[in-house]
Structure 1
Amino acid sequence: MEHNGTDLLMVRQPIFDRDMKIVSYQLRYQFSELINDSLFDPETEGSMLVMQTFTSVFQDGEVRNVPVFLPFPSSMLKGGEVLLLPKKEIVVEIHADIPVTDLLVEHLKLLRKQGFRLALDGFSMQGHLIPLVKLMNIVKIDFSLMHRHRIEKLVGLLNRSGVAPLAQNVDDFETLLFCKKAGFKLFQGRFISRPTKVLGKTVPGNSAALLQLLQQLQRPNITPQEIEDLIIMDPKLSFKILRVVNSAAYQLSRPIDSMQQAVVYLGHNQLKKWATLITLAGNSDKPEAIAMNLLIRGRMCELLAESLDSALQDSAFMVGMVSQLDILLDVEMNEILRQVPLDDAIKSAISEQAGVLGKLLHDVVALEEANWSEIEKSSFDKAFLEVAYRHSLQWAEHAMQALAESD
């Protein structure tokens, strides 16, 4: 997106409830000083983009919209711009370093009276912020700044006061379990993109077989008949591919009722993608957000590769997908790379972020984590990154929807 002559990158990061369902997204953006009424005016392109793309989530078999947490500078909170925004679709976030004045308190009271939800970010018992706590719907507690014993006491106090405590900077599942036990209602952090290590666990046979299948499909001179022969060896996979190709994702005028027709219609690249997605979707014991993130990452890597060299895009998609298989399978990545037959370029890209494919993965992960200093080093144009990221969000949502229709 272009904003006052400067490319503005925005990414979303999920916020979960205790059932690991996405209930909101945190919006993170580069160049926070550029955030003003022209970006979030309800009638501008920027506002419509945020509301249409960044609030949508596919979950529990349906697409719905969830609110986004929007950080606002004090200058906007003291003006009337916020009142113009759709109150049901945003949570107004106040940063911990904001100067607390009587005027600010009055404006926050007005927002609450008008039905806006307020969240205080980065709270760790700072004295000057305590007057704001009672005005908040949600208080985000920075897990990295407080001792666990103090956190438990604070969470109890907030729950008794009717303020929802949100644990932020939850970086692994062990910390998530503690936060749940402590009474947090909401959770935010990198735990969804980091594996739980289970030493000695091997790759499930069906997943290893899938990756072997994908390696076969990557052969440059493979024929449609050879593809069909590989697919029909797995009846469940064959059935689901037929269901997908006949789903709303493709809007066919006439049904396809044989694997041979599906192979011809889908083509090599699409078949490889759907074979991957179908198998990953079978890991239903994991939060849907993990599968969604795999799809976003895979598609994003593919789009970046396509802009450089179309011959790389298939491998780039694999790099993005496999780079988080350890999370989905609870198996160490080194063990996955040892057991499954992947090209050396794909393995080194995943394990060391080496080579062209590794650089693509590095840039995509940096964007996911809103690591703007690393994005500044990227060779990709920021406007292109913004469009590719937004497209990847939409593509992943459509893919999840098509997979659900195939069940």
Structure 2
Amino acid sequence: MHHFSFARQPILNLSLDVHAYEFLYRPTDQANDSNHSITAEVLASSIIDLGLDKASNNKLAFINMSYDDIMSPHIESLPANKLVLELLEDIKPDPALVLRAKSLHEKGFTFALDDFIYTPDWDPLIDLADIIKFDLTTTTLQENKALIQQLRTKKITFLAEKVETYQEFEAYRDISCELFQGYFFCKPEHIKGKSITANSSTQTQLLAVVNQPDITLDELKNTIEQDPNLTYMLLKYLNSAYFSFSKPIQSIKQAIVIIGINNLTKWVTLLSLRNMSSKPSELLRISLVRAKLAELIAVEKKFTNSSSFFLAGLLSNIDAMLDSTMQNIIPPMSLDSDIANALLHREGAIGQVLTNITEYENQNALPTGIEISSAYLEACQWTDQTLNSLIS
């Protein structure tokens, strides 16, 4: 049996909406330390056995392909209309590979050239490629601009990878890149001299109140009902097909009685975060994946305060949502000290789990002592179902 972990990284379009996900793989078997790709055979079985197709949320999935992967007969068993085959930069484009790529292209497969640096050897594959990816850490803006000009007559979409700042996003947008990969949108855009807006401040104060560990039923009810828009959205959401309660929920008090204070607090926090930021929706999606994954890890490790882990994950990107710093946002919220210290300093058990999760997102390291792959997949699927129900 093959053992590997995976994480998905969003690929955004010019509007900063998700165009696709790249799936990063890493073997959990230490005897095999290659983290570039998995075999086409394993990938095909994983799509069926693990439901990896569901983890793409109906978006295209970019998959790294080695030379041997592309030459494998198992490629044909993969769904061509759902995948982008990403040819790794260390592949040597020999005649056999070009012939194989032509055959797959004729069968409907889409190709991307990863971490691309031009040499004439790549010309036959450029003619087959739909996407060319630039690694911003190994090439310069001027080099990539010149290559885009050189290939302007080709029907190629250019993707900037490892985009870590909004300035890089804007620079590559201006030279005609249309797709962007990197966590630039998970960081505050402008901090210096920027204050939190009145609406965001109000929402932050609401979050501070509803997340007090000793809040009573009446205090929670009264706080939510002070915001008519939040009350409306919450009742609408709780009465959606996602929950499918046997009887309609007609009041906040009834909602608290049915689903409990802790669960209602989760949904209030989620809806408030959704309302307070105009940032890409994927930012909230990543936060919710972290929240659910942190909760699942806490349950597996038998921590008694799994809801605290959930809340910490959900708030882990609030600095980017509000274009401020954690030091400006968290102390006024008067959160439980374990949650506050985790968000501010990555301290304590909650802080360690958040650190593990962010490392896992980039497949930089695998946490020890837990089976995180299945939990991550569950968190992705739960998040997609939750947010899709909010939008519908």
**Given the two structures, how large is their TM-score scaled by the length of structure 1?**
0.88
Give 1:14's aligned residue. Answer: 10
Deviation larger for 101-110 or 200-209? 200-209
1: CA distance between counterparts of 2:36 and 2:361?
Answer: 21
SS of the aligned residue for 1:257 comes to coil
2: CA distance between counterparts of 1:348 and 1:126?
Answer: 50
Deviation for aligned residue 1:26: 0.4
Q: Which among 242, 249, 254 is matched to residue 261 of structure 1? A: 254
Residues 72 and 94, structure 1, Cα contact 8 Å, conserved in 2: yes
Q: What letter is aligned with 2:85?
A: V
How big is each residue's C-alpha offset from its partner over 1:222-246, in whole Å with a ceiling of 9 and x where there is no partner? 4323321222222222222111111
Deviation larger for 208-217 or 315-324? 208-217
What percent identity do the matched residue pairs reach?
28
Write out aligned runs for 1:2-401 (5 A).
3-4=1-2, 7-31=3-27, 32=35, 35-41=38-44, 44-47=45-48, 49-56=50-57, 65-126=58-119, 128-283=121-276, 285-371=278-364, 374-375=365-366, 378-381=367-370, 384-401=371-388
Q: CA RMSD in A?
A: 2.1
Deviation for aligned residue 1:209: 4.2
Give 1:61's aligned residue. Answer: none
Deviation for aligned residue 1:130: 4.2
Deviation for aligned residue 1:295: 1.0
1: CA distance between counterparts of 2:125 and 2:250?
Answer: 62
Deviation for aligned residue 1:155: 1.8
Deviation for aligned residue 1:356: 0.7
Question: Tell me, which stretches of 5 or more residues in structure 2 are unaligned?
Answer: 28-34
SS of the aligned residue for 1:282 comes to helix
Residues 158 and 164, structure 1, Cα contact 8 Å, conserved in 2: no
Deviation for aligned residue 1:390: 1.1
2: CA distance between counterparts of 1:222 and 1:343?
Answer: 12
Deviation for aligned residue 1:251: 0.4
Deviation for aligned residue 1:321: 1.8
Deviation for aligned residue 1:301: 1.4
Deviation for aligned residue 1:205: 4.1
2: CA distance between counterparts of 1:309 and 1:174?
Answer: 43
How big is each residue's C-alpha offset from its partner over 1:117-142, in whole Å with a ceiling of 9 and x where there is no partner? 11110112245434422221111111
2: CA distance between counterparts of 1:221 and 1:338?
Answer: 18
Residues 278 and 321, structure 2, Cα contact 8 Å, conserved in 1: no
Deviation for aligned residue 1:253: 1.9
2: CA distance between counterparts of 1:158 and 1:190?
Answer: 27
CA distance 1:198–1:242, shift in 2 (3 Å): same
Q: What letter is aligned with 2:224?
A: I
Q: What letter is aligned with 1:8?
A: F
Question: How many residues matched?
Answer: 385
Residues 25 and 37, structure 2, Cα contact 8 Å, conserved in 1: no
